[in-house]
Structure 1
Amino acid sequence: MYQVGIDVGSSAAKAVVMEGKTILKKVLLSTGFSSRQTADHIYDLLAEAGFTKENARYVATGYGRVSVPYADQTVTEITCHAKGAQVLFGSDGTVIDIGGQDTKGIALKNGRVMKFIMNDKCSAGTGKFLEVMTNRLGLTQQELSELASRGRHISISSMCTVFAESEVISLIGRGTPREDIAFGVIESVVTKVTQLIAQIPGETYFLTGGLCEDEYLIGRLRIALKKPVISAPMARYAGAVGAAVLAGEERGN
């Protein structure tokens, strides 16, 4: 029996197939309009690769976990991200997951969740905020970070994405250089994340989610938190990895 973890987030859906502790396959799709259709598409892709209900146990997590009708079990994002971060990085640290709808902080000790915290969905410290801002500026996330690295101090203070976007529109109207606006956008996210994580401080931080390969943002987080911030490309799949590991534990692996 294979172990399949499916993490249906608000922006992206991820799936990981494992055998024991070995990752055999991963899938990344945009969640799109329908979580159910995306979940069905994931199953089709996995079935084509030979991973079906007959030879695998499925565990679903994430914003759209209830939209995975073939899942044997659904598990909370906190539990799955904690387990996935433990597998990828270690048993002691504070997980930072910057998701599309919210940002989560999870304190781990000996692999156990000691405390967790989440921000408000409207907060500027989320992936959705960055998506709105990159669209407004006509940039990709990578281009935003590249521009921000050359920018100067600009403050975007609004806690709400809608009001923050209005600030950016005003800056554009005043002719503020785009690199300075990009700097302000990234700093806004870093500030909001730092304020959230300050409630569960740690000695080492594990960054999971879609920004795991953004070296500029990771660097700014290291400066703001004054502690090591560790990430890796597979950290995007942390929730799915955790779900897959739990699938194995449920069947006694």
Structure 2
Amino acid sequence: MSKRFAGIDIGSRTIELVVIDEKKEVLDSVQANTGFDPMAEAKKMIDGVAFDRIMATGYGRNLFEISFNAATVTEIKAHARGARALFPDVQAVIDIGGQDSKAIALFDNGNVKKFEMNDRCAAGTGKFLEIMAKTLGFTIEEFGQAALKGQNGLSISSMCTVFAESEVTSLIAKGENPREIAKGLHTSVIRRVAGMVNRVSAQGDIAFTGGVAKNPCMCALLEAKLGRRIRIPDDPQQIGALGAALLAHESDNS
């Protein structure tokens, strides 16, 4: 019987589970909200799912290792492996999730060459965009579309969530167009992410993973700012789990 390998990515907002076979083809994928008890949610996800080996990644991977006696891998390696599986020629990965953002440069063989990570504040993360969207009265799904319709965008001077929220509230009170505010906020995030990409000296095409890759304005602005082709998976939130599953498979055969 063919072996099955699972990868689970326990993020701050969602948990993804991907199961592959020995040919590295995806057999199953599941997503759930992380909730207030990530390990309880993770247990619900893996119960009833058949696999021979599982590897965990994401911010909750160490808890998963203790709770389920599983191997773990960093998000950096997991996203790098998952991205290269889908786009074998990419030289870099941008991963923007709920609580952090990462820029990863790759060697020709797909291994991680250099990375930079923002995990000390919400600036440039999905959480920042979520809070700003709510302040402007948009759903997170509407936010990117609204920003795309902005023209030049208004300058947002602060990337601290608290101060940026206050700045946005002030701009609303002045009667500024919400679309222009939205465009300005997206532009400020892009400057931060582009700076990370430049500092890791990433070259060539870039894979964009994580939930924020679903935002069309972020994708358009990134491509324009960096002057590079941005490659977006069909489901960018699954890439960490896919990478972990692939690494579970490869460690089993090493």
* Alignment TM-score > 0.5, same fold: yes
Q: Which residue of the partner structure matches residue 80 of structure 1?
A: 78
Distance 2:99 2:63 in 1: 17
- 1:158-197 matches, within 5 Å, as 158-197=158-197
Alpha carbons 1:58, 1:70 under 8 Å: kept: no
Please tell me the residue identity of whatever aligns with 1:167: E
Distance 2:164 2:52 in 1: 45
Q: Quick check: 186-195 or 217-226, which moved more?
A: 186-195
Does the CA-based 8 Å contact 2:148-2:216 persist in structure 1? no
Q: Percent identity?
A: 43
Paired residues for 1:25-104 under 5 Å? 25-44=28-47, 47=48, 50-51=49-50, 55-68=51-64, 69-104=67-102
Q: SS at 1:212's partner residue?
A: helix
> Deviation string for 1:168-206 (max 9, x for gaps)?
111112121111111112112111111111102312111
Distance 1:2 1:120 in 2: 33
Write out the 4+ residue segments of structure 1 that deviate beyond 3 Å after TM superposition. none
Compute the displacement of 1:106 (Å): 0.9
1:154-233 alignment runs, 5 A limit: 154-200=154-200, 201-233=202-234
Distance in 1 separating the partners of 2:89 and 2:149: 36
* Deviation (angstroms), 1:123: 4.5
Q: Residue in 1 aligned with 2:111?
A: 112
Tell me by how many angstroms 1:91 deviates.
4.9
Gaps in structure 2 of 5+ consecutive residues: none
Q: CA deviation at 1:138?
A: 2.5
Distance in 1, matches of 2:53 and 2:69, equals 8
Q: Mean Cα displacement is larger for which, 228-237 or 99-108?
A: 228-237
Deviation digits for residues 216-240 of structure 1 (CA, Å, limit 9, x no counterpart): 3211100000111111223221110
Per the normalisation by structure 1, the TM-score is: 0.92
Q: Distance in 2 between matches of 1:24 and 1:149?
A: 36
Query: 1:128 Cα deviation (Å)?
Result: 0.9
Residue type at the aligned position of 2:180: D
Distance 2:63 2:228 in 1: 38
Post-superposition Cα deviations, 1:138-182, rounded to whole Å, max 9, x if no partner, equal 222221111112213211121312211111111112121111111
Pairwise CA distance, 1:41: 2.0
Q: Which range moves more in the overlay, 97-106 or 135-144?
A: 135-144
> Does residue 126 of structure 2 align to residue 127 of structure 1?
yes
CA distance in 2, matches of 1:27, 1:179: 34
Q: 1:14 aligns with which of 13, 16, 23?
A: 16
TM-score w.r.t. length of structure 2: 0.91
Letter in 2 for 1:173: A
Counterpart AA for 1:144: F
Distance in 2, Cα, partners of 1:220 & 1:159: 17
Name the amino acid aligned to 1:147.
A
How many angstroms apart in 1 are the aligned matches of 2:69 and 2:81? 18
| 1:154 aligned counterpart, secondary structure | coil
Cα 1:120–1:57 shift into 2, 3 Å: closer
